[in-house]
Structure 1
């Protein structure tokens, strides 16, 4: 290759990296910036609490439904083609979100945002794996991807709040319509087309059955508290999810070219990294939704101060990924990924101790927040790099789909699980502090308000100290759950990697 050709190739890869990173920024912002505008939507669009939940859940459900199907489509029709189409759809859905004044239309547009955002996410990883071939180049690319993804997720609450303060809530969505146009142009000029030459047919049965299973499971988890987990409707939805998943397993065994090649799980590096993907979203990411409640309702900071406090949680995850990639090249994923997960767990335990300290404040929370962010930075990009690097390049679309499915399904499951633990912890503390015989339904309603951060002072004859202690106890339970669960998965990941070494 001549010098001129080498420079041209490097410039094109830089443009492709810019397109991937910009799409990652948009994806992350639509997860973390929207919670900041929910109170505004409640007032302006007259949305009730359940509708507000759907505005958030529609995006997550859309992402989880499309992940594996996108990997198969990208392998068949080309990753660049699917990537550009998904960016265009994301921009159109964002435009619809910003222009509507109808809550049902907003929810539907958010679902389409999730579908297209999930497709972008899978293509991002497959494109980086194909565009950057050497370990050093790929490490650099995934390092930048991890930083920009972290910026979108970590600074989303601040950005969303600032947009509402300076302009209108619509611009939280409309800004992505403009960014999508820029991203499409960058992708068209920089991304090299790639596909799996053996993917001559689509696994339609696998796509349909897995999509139905994931949708029903996500719907059951997110809407179970409202429907009642034991209600006939909820159990029917769960039954459909189980039946669809069984049908998926059967279809994959009968299909000549299955969407999910289960033989990849025999690759220990791949399986160990997928466990890491799930572990991060059992602990770090779902807790980011609840941590602002603790800063505001528990520690008494306003929304701006709480947003600044969140930087201690998210900022380390932005600066550590380049170091993580260097450690990955030196020490291998079998050590780096379990170590990063262990650091996340230690951060959660320190946050629990900090929240329970006398006169708890941001300083008592700081060590745990920083360590959790460092652990995420040590884990995030090595996990992604390992899952795609452990399989043949032609199957990188499938590998990235499995990786992202593990992340998003874990996230969809653990957002309601953490909410359940929080409410039950608050309720248990109230029962221990209040006189026996207090009305159970009224007590649960009070616990839910305290957990949501809307009842710093009860106004119902309950001392403020009891309310605050109940909130601290509830959050302590959530932090303990996050720490122990990620430690258990760190041990599982280490054992899987170690088995591969033998």
Structure 2
């Protein structure tokens, strides 16, 4: 790889971060458009969940493939291909005339995002040879990832304030052209590696297992959690994922070497990132609906109110990396998990009359600080656990944990909310004298309930609106309790599982003995697990 002048790698980092921003913003840019989409495309809550999760599910499912293709054909080449495809599918998404077309287009966007995202981190870890500079670059990359997710609603809100919902997809075209220009100008090419045969079976099993699990969780509130279809769907999904793990252990060149997770630090860091993005994506899905359906904010006002999250992420991410270098990633990750749990716990105190500055913003600030403390340090732990020829592997695993966590966050927390809302609103409105078909409309989503409140006779309007908002708050509280428990449990687990991480230690890749690549993408992570364990010493803190 040609790195050029001394400062050229920092220009390349800027270009790669911009490409990362392009695909990560799409995780949440549609969130503030959900009420509009519910009305224009006649979508219920499960339909809205699919608009969000179709992107993250395909993104997560194909990240391993994206890492493989980057190794085989060159990461820069895949990066450019991904950006071009992303722009093309954005045009299709903006032209969608139905819910099904939009969901399919969101899946297509996820496919090309899976080419872009692993390439960015793989190139960064290759062009930054100095361990300290690499740690800083990875910290910036991790910060951009979190900031992008947080500013997505702001960008979407501004666009919706001035244009139709299609603008959240059209905007990808000029941004994509800008990304292509800077990548061609400053990002060096990578040399393709000799790679083994592609693990198509592994990719198929992973996508099928995750897809079935996500589908079952999203549809369960409407089908019934105890119904045969739901139970069999969960069991079948887990069985497929179990078969995936077994096949990955048995074949010579797996797409995901699950043996990597025998490294306690690697596995825990990946799990912490997954939990953090589970909480983040789930929270943004919930809070943007709270702002519009309960507080009555417009799309831009709702989006702007998520901005403090991005600001705190931007400020604290480099601080987190510095603290991690001084005190060790363990302390940062544990603190981050408990900060996120505390932020969610504050939401439990909210009601439909709670003011933004009185409560909600403080909960968001705690969550943002927690995410900053987890994301960068844990990403560095993952990358430090791997040899240089495993850069594509580490980046794909790191990226996959984020997207899988986010996908499940929307599916699980959204489904908990939906279960409480559908059951509660039916009970509250059944004796109100409203026709059954009107009640059924209100049950589709909280925004549909707000629309119903605006159409009923004036004497009933306030009563119906209050019922819709109060039932939504009940569902929100139920979902948030799950987030409190999951993030707190992650913090407790990290106390024990990250023992032995060394403060200030960033293992320099150049000190490892050169070895021939053993595979590609995440397949190259196969390697010698015992050696990986030696690189990140175990022991007591």
User: Is TM more than 0.5 here?
Assistant: yes
1:250-261, aligned counterparts within 5 Å? 250-261=246-257
Q: Which residue of 2 aligns with 1:383?
A: 378
Q: Which residue of 1 aligns with 2:517?
A: none
Runs of 4+ in 1 over 6 A off after TM superposition: 427-439, 441-445
1:142-153, aligned counterparts within 5 Å? 142-153=138-149
Q: For the residues of structure 2 that align with 1:33 and 1:419, how far apart are their CA atoms?
A: 17
Say whether residues 1:501 and 2:539 are aligned partners. Answer: yes
Tell me the TM-score normalised to structure 2 length.
0.80
Q: Residues 391 and 452 from structure 1, CA distance in 2 versus in 1: closer, same or farther, beyond 3 angstroms?
A: farther
For residue 176 of structure 2, the aligned residue among 165, 173, 180 is 180
Q: For the residues of structure 2 that align with 1:297 and 1:73, how far apart are their CA atoms?
A: 43
Q: Which residue of 2 aligns with 1:106?
A: 102
The structural deviation recorded for 1:398 is 2.0
The structural deviation recorded for 1:188 is 3.7
1:55-134, aligned counterparts within 5 Å? 55-101=51-97, 103-134=99-130
Q: After superposition, what is the alpha-carbon deviation per residue over 1:324-368, rounded to whole angstroms, capped at 9, x for unaligned?
A: 111111111121111111111111112323x15985543222322
Q: Residues 232 and 81 from structure 1, CA distance in 2 versus in 1: closer, same or farther, beyond 3 angstroms?
A: farther
Structure 2: gaps spanning 5 or more residues: 501-537
Q: Which residue of 2 aligns with 1:204?
A: 200
Q: After superposition, what is the alpha-carbon deviation per residue over 1:67-109, rounded to whole angstroms, capped at 9, x for unaligned?
A: 2222233333332232222222212211222345455443322
The Cα RMSD (Å) is: 3.5
1:83-482, aligned counterparts within 5 Å? 83-101=79-97, 103-194=99-190, 197=193, 199-226=195-222, 228=224, 238=234, 241-353=237-349, 355-356=350-351, 360-425=355-420, 449-450=445-446, 454=450, 459=460, 462=463, 468-482=469-483
The structural deviation recorded for 1:452 is 7.0
More helix by share: 1
Q: After superposition, what is the alpha-carbon deviation per residue over 1:199-220, rounded to whole angstroms, capped at 9, x for unaligned?
A: 4332333223223222322333
Q: For the residues of structure 2 that align with 1:415 and 1:454, how far apart are their CA atoms?
A: 22
The structural deviation recorded for 1:309 is 2.3
Q: For the residues of structure 1 that align with 2:35 and 2:468, how far apart are their CA atoms?
A: 23
Q: Residues 78 and 223 from structure 1, CA distance in 2 versus in 1: closer, same or farther, beyond 3 angstroms?
A: farther
> SS at 2:255's partner residue?
coil
Tell me the TM-score normalised to structure 1 length.
0.85
Contact 1:344–1:373 under 8 Å retained in 2: yes
Q: Residues 233 and 115 from structure 1, CA distance in 2 versus in 1: closer, same or farther, beyond 3 angstroms?
A: farther
Q: For the residues of structure 2 that align with 1:332 and 1:377, how far apart are their CA atoms?
A: 15
Q: Residues 230 and 323 from structure 1, CA distance in 2 versus in 1: closer, same or farther, beyond 3 angstroms?
A: same
> SS at 1:89's partner residue?
helix
Q: After superposition, what is the alpha-carbon deviation per residue over 1:111-156, rounded to whole angstroms, capped at 9, x for unaligned?
A: 1101111232222222222222223212322233234333422222
Q: Residues 223 and 188 from structure 1, CA distance in 2 versus in 1: closer, same or farther, beyond 3 angstroms?
A: farther
| Deviation larger for 176-185 or 226-235 | 226-235
Q: For the residues of structure 2 that align with 1:475 and 1:242, how far apart are their CA atoms?
A: 27
Q: After superposition, what is the alpha-carbon deviation per residue over 1:28-75, rounded to whole angstroms, capped at 9, x for unaligned?
A: 22122223334444566x454365554333212211220222223333
| Deviation larger for 322-331 or 153-162 | 153-162
The structural deviation recorded for 1:17 is 1.2
Q: For the residues of structure 2 that align with 1:324 and 1:336, how far apart are their CA atoms?
A: 7
Q: For the residues of structure 1 that align with 2:143 and 2:408, how far apart are their CA atoms?
A: 25
Q: For the residues of structure 2 that align with 1:226 and 1:157, how far apart are their CA atoms?
A: 27
The structural deviation recorded for 1:380 is 1.4
Aligned residues: 494
Contact 2:153–2:303 under 8 Å retained in 1: yes
Q: For the residues of structure 2 that align with 1:234 and 1:259, how far apart are their CA atoms?
A: 29
Q: For the residues of structure 1 that align with 2:388 and 2:311, how far apart are their CA atoms?
A: 32
Structure 1: gaps spanning 5 or more residues: none
For residue 12 of structure 1, the aligned residue among 5, 8, 16 is 8
Q: For the residues of structure 2 that align with 1:431 and 1:212, how far apart are their CA atoms?
A: 34
Q: Residues 60 and 435 from structure 1, CA distance in 2 versus in 1: closer, same or farther, beyond 3 angstroms?
A: closer
Contact 2:150–2:307 under 8 Å retained in 1: yes
